[in-house]
Structure 1
């Protein structure tokens, strides 16, 4: 007796694997959302561990010389480290961005032994920036005004990834040299043993992800927009 081959698409012909059926119907949609949420949480946890373990544990050796230094305020030692780099002739000028509007120049000078030596000649102060995005905007403006092509970025080690993402988005093509400042009060080497450090790093990680997303979106937009869409400065638009 010849075997009959079923080609009418009925359930007994090449049935779908069981895992497809688990997502059918209202209950299947709930399962799909649940499984997707679990997967997202696992990815976030893995990403956070990679982020936390990738932070600098020790002070870096002074980088090579650049055109300028930008200091993102938030810790006294950041300004002092920038002045030390100036003393080593690592840059021409320093921008301290995000300074409190009530803080005076004389107060800033007291934060570092090199204050009197460099503040009057080689330091620019920005009091307009209120957050990291503003820091990047003000730094990009300062870099453009001075015609710089390379900048040392001075900020805390846990803040560095987000700072670099915002700076790269604000001024593509500029060489950014990270100089992370290690805060002895933030134990990043064993962050999981300290609840305060874990909370700080988790907060920074959750801020870093949107910054990274903005950078990727900006990069995609630059690739998508043809260079010819902007007419040369010396040629009038038709």
Structure 2
């Protein structure tokens, strides 16, 4: 699989380079898509409790005590495809509210009916350089999800792209394990990472690895995911929440 990705990216003229984790959406995707005509809204909230206190060498603003908020409306267009977008903002200490760009995405799922569900999400992003030095980018996010009784496992082996001075690709896998404790409650853990260019991963000391403890609450029209965690990298301690509204 890795050899196939390298060959595909080489054919497209991709040049690897480092890319940071997305601070506006801390989520492991499931393989579900909205039904045709169905509208939904997710709100992503997170606070960097311990982050970078100075401007980065690339000109990115400090992240310490920054609050991120992202609105993600989506629409089901077929039985297996949905379209969505992200409207991003931040509140920065000493600055206040700040517009943080937008993304467009398409998500498809395979017509599987067994224990394994598969999907693929693709997106393009347009971000102010004070938040992401490259400015424009995107991702391809394969999705695999399996249910084993009350336990659900999911993995997203993300390939993230930036489009400054060519196309650069990084490997950013994430995964989760959730245990259903009640019809309205699950708990588990989520893992996020940024490993570096796909044809030459960074040394372990330069990679980013983060683990969150998470709780999910379910009701008829509103689901809530709450997590707190951290690890390596500039943003080492974070709290996050995802509110999902369904009609």
Higher Cα radius of gyration? 1
Give the TM-score taking structure 1 as reference length: 0.27
Larger fraction in strand: 2
